[in-house]
Homo-oligomer: A and B are copies of this chain.
């Protein structure tokens, strides 16, 4: 059975969340609450302590207990957390730079962390964020295409009215999921159409199975093929995940895919530049060359895409602008604005 102080705390929490107390209004006094809930004043104090720990209220002796749902709790400095899958790799430095360029101008401190796309690290980081009085979060969802064990932690964030902006991937099952994403479905379709317009008919794809970007890009790819009246063959599609990314091309399924590539496929939509590079590497071992034997198109336009050999044709991720958009949206949400999600378009960069 739930202890009384828990019950009272939850009731108060609910009242605060439903906006019963506007602005910096004061709570009922301890004595009033004591009689309202028919418990002793000590029990009420214990309940309010919980809210205080969560940063929901502050108590002022002689004055009252005030509801705080406003930012800037730490001497006028805003606390913002940023959680992405990686920090120093791939396109993430650019995204972070975009976020930082916005936040550093405001009176903000930013805390940056990486999940490495692991839910256990996501859990540790969310727990840590819940311990602190953070004013807002920018989060890249972890394995958004799989059931997520940390949904309850996200809900606790929302209970505390902490604004969260998701980037790249989000959790559709959440009530609040303001996000800034790229148009992955449209991008998948665009990539396929580019290859179709070059006259290719047998178009394969490599997609990521554990995040929503992979699913959506596949969806767009499949829709574009269907729209062109072409069949979708499972043999032309290869799926990989975070865990087997480094070696899926060498495992049996991947190896089979590679060895029958020439018979099945003329062109491939690659999940991202990283995968495209790995694929080129493997193809060269099979004496297949890009683009003469197989054509590729990929996503992200990472730093390597323009300097590797051959240079990759790729859909360019907005990167800096993407981070800025997310940061600006978060700042507006912290200021109380109700924000809609953004979906940024890809830009086609044709190379070899």
Contacts and interface: CB of A to CB of B under 8 A. Distances in A.
A7 B14 CA distance: 36
A95 B132 CA distance: 26
Contact of A100 (B79, B88, B133): B88
Nearest to A80: B113
A77 B121 contact: yes
Query: How many copies of the shown chain assemble into the complex?
Result: 2
Interface in A51-76: 53, 74-75
| Size bracket of the A interface | 20 to 34
A245 to B, nearest CB: 15
A87 B96 contact: yes
Contact of A113 (B87, B110, B131): B110
A112 interface: yes
Interface string A288-328: 00000000000000000000000000000000000000000
A110 B111 CA distance: 9
Contacts of A93: 88, 93
B113 A112 contact: yes
Contact of A75 (B53, B97, B115, B120): B120
Contacts of A112: 87, 111-113
